[in-house]
Structure 1
Amino acid sequence: MIRFSKEWRTSVKQAAKPSSERSPQVQSLTRSLIILETLAEHDGGLSLTELAHISELPTSTTHRLLTTLENRRFVRFNRGSNLWSVGVQSFVVGNAFARSRNFVPLAKIFMRHLMDQAGETVNLAAQDQEEIVYLAQVECREMMRAFVRPGSRAPLHSSAVGKALLAAMADVDRNRITQRRKADRAETGNVYTPEFIKSLEDVRTRGYALDDEEQSVGVRCVASVIYDENGGPLAAVSISGPSARITNERIPFLGELVRQTCKDITTDFGGRLPSEIDLHGGGTSNA
């Protein structure tokens, strides 16, 4: 399972630290969200001590917030095991997002067909700031296959779906992400090098991106983008599998399969392709 990135955790936990400019209510809300995100990563539940340690919050504060969240059914406490876990209300809220993005059921119809064509696992993901969040997966029938749980995250720059989304963004949106990362390079290192930015041009040209064992050793992914009604990147679909099966010779074939699938989903969902809207130049395409 892919975990939340170190950079994402650091930024959220920094926001939870006391500040003279931050109200107690905002601080408590931020800390409550940290607790929910932490519990979401641990299916078996966590003890109070474990949760406080992982969340980097005082035990007394963690218990107080858990009590409030339990009253609202966002978390639940198993008195037999003394473990805390995500509650039913968290599912209700999360399911509301899935309903609002009703392209997911539509996309899965196409994803199943793509899995049959490619013989490999197919994933659906969307952008969340500098990360991607996996929304759905259709597993292939092979014994050895890639697996990622819906809700898992990965960095934009090291995943095929992330690269595809970056390449499809309007320049101003992509620059906002790369410039923000450059500002933090002393602490985390700048992954958005000139070479990386230039490689995104190749992604746009061929219509798909490649993760060559960058996210997981031994796993390769090929991805393309689904566009919304304004011609912006809505989500991305990837084909993933062992490097032994996704060979250099198969990549162009798989890339074309996923590119065409995303084009079909875009059309069926009522989206518009880049050839219809010139996002990068700021005007309307005549092509």
Structure 2
Amino acid sequence: MTDSDNPPVKAVQTSHRVLEAIVESGGVTLADLDDQLDHSRSSIHNHLSALTQLGYVIKDGQTYRTSLRFLEIGATARTHFDLYNVGRPHAENLSDATGLSASLLTFEREQLTCLYTASAMDVNGSPITTGDVLPLHCTAPGKAILAAHSAEEAAVLLSESERTPCTENTQSTEALRESLEDIRTQGWAVDREEWQTGIRCIATAVSDTDGNLHGALCVTGPTDSLSGKRFEQDVPGLLISSAQEIRSKLS
């Protein structure tokens, strides 16, 4: 089947599959895509040519890879989020105050995506980086988002999301549902190495003064930096204070 045989919507879906294959592999040849996708070689080549002409794909020798056009699009897209525009300086101040990485995340298309991370100065890299999509069931910001919904809404989100255990500490579905009630009462959620071994996280949902949910604010760091009173009281207090400052400035 050639591109001329494809309805417009189906052609877009094919381009999407080609892009996904390139993203997942980091770079592929036409022969690789021919093996992976259920489309004719000529059809795949046509889509690669179109994506290359449009600037979404770069051809390097025989290998195709995604271009920085996506970075440009993503950077522009996040400026439309009030949580990013208002919250960025507060995340940076929170990171400075705690010595931990502080992240802003938004909930869109039933996915939890990181808009921005202020990394701690003395830490090499952060567990959460811009553009990361986090699971709801085993991360502190995911739990905070779930708890910001009603029990019924949270149950629907849990039934539709992937709940594969990430570590041996990942909560069971029943334990998670029970913990959501505690989160609603205390105002913040924690992740005790439930997502990544050796990493803990504390998060709270961020809404505006009208009660509209914008996303979550979280701090993340090694378990030895988040334990005892610091984990139970000090950092949560700073986190809630920062979230309240953001909330007061969100329209």
TM-score > 0.5, shorter chain as reference: yes
The worse-fitting range, judged by mean Cα deviation, of 241-250 and 221-230 is 221-230
Of 214, 225, 229 in structure 1, the residue corresponding to residue 194 of structure 2 is 214
- Residues 206 and 247 of structure 2 are in contact (CA less than 8 Å); yes or no, is this contact kept in structure 1? yes
CA distance in 1, matches of 2:40, 2:224: 47
Return the letter of the residue paired with 1:177.
L
Matched, 1:155 2:135: yes
Identity of aligned residues (%): 24
Task: Give the direction of change, closer, same or farther, for the CA distance of 1:49–1:166 in structure 2 (3 Å limit).
Answer: farther
Return the letter of the residue paired with 2:55.
R
SS at match of 1:249: helix
RMSD: 2.9
* Other-structure match for 2:158: 178
**Superposed CA offset, 1:180-232 (max 9, x none):** 35xx99xx79x872331121111111111111111111010111111145413
* Other-structure match for 1:95: 75
Task: Give the direction of change, closer, same or farther, for the CA distance of 1:26–1:175 in structure 2 (3 Å limit).
Answer: farther
* Other-structure match for 1:47: 29
* CA positional deviation for 1:33: 2.7
Matched, 1:132 2:112: yes
Of 65, 72, 89 in structure 1, the residue corresponding to residue 54 of structure 2 is 72
CA distance in 1, matches of 2:235, 2:154: 26
* CA positional deviation for 1:120: 0.7
The worse-fitting range, judged by mean Cα deviation, of 33-42 and 111-120 is 33-42
Task: Give the direction of change, closer, same or farther, for the CA distance of 1:145–1:63 in structure 2 (3 Å limit).
Answer: same
- Residues 131 and 162 of structure 1 are in contact (CA less than 8 Å); yes or no, is this contact kept in structure 2? no
Matched, 1:256 2:237: yes
Q: Please, which runs of 5 or more residues in structure 2 have no aligned partner?
A: 1-5, 166-170
Matched, 1:166 2:146: yes
Return the letter of the residue paired with 2:8.
Q
Q: Please, which runs of 5 or more residues in structure 1 have no aligned partner?
A: 1-22, 271-287
The alignment of Structure 1 onto Structure 2 pairs a total of residues equal to: 239
CA distance in 2, matches of 1:97, 1:229: 24
* Other-structure match for 1:115: 95
The alignment's TM-score, normalised by the length of structure 1, stands at 0.72
Task: Give the direction of change, closer, same or farther, for the CA distance of 1:180–1:120 in structure 2 (3 Å limit).
Answer: closer
- Residues 139 and 147 of structure 1 are in contact (CA less than 8 Å); yes or no, is this contact kept in structure 2? no
Which structure 2 residues correspond to residues 180-259 of structure 1 after superposition, within 5 A? 180=160, 193-228=173-208, 230-251=210-231, 252-259=233-240
CA distance in 2, matches of 1:220, 1:174: 23
SS at match of 1:140: coil
CA distance in 1, matches of 2:176, 2:139: 13
Task: Give the direction of change, closer, same or farther, for the CA distance of 1:205–1:35 in structure 2 (3 Å limit).
Answer: farther
CA distance in 2, matches of 1:218, 1:50: 37
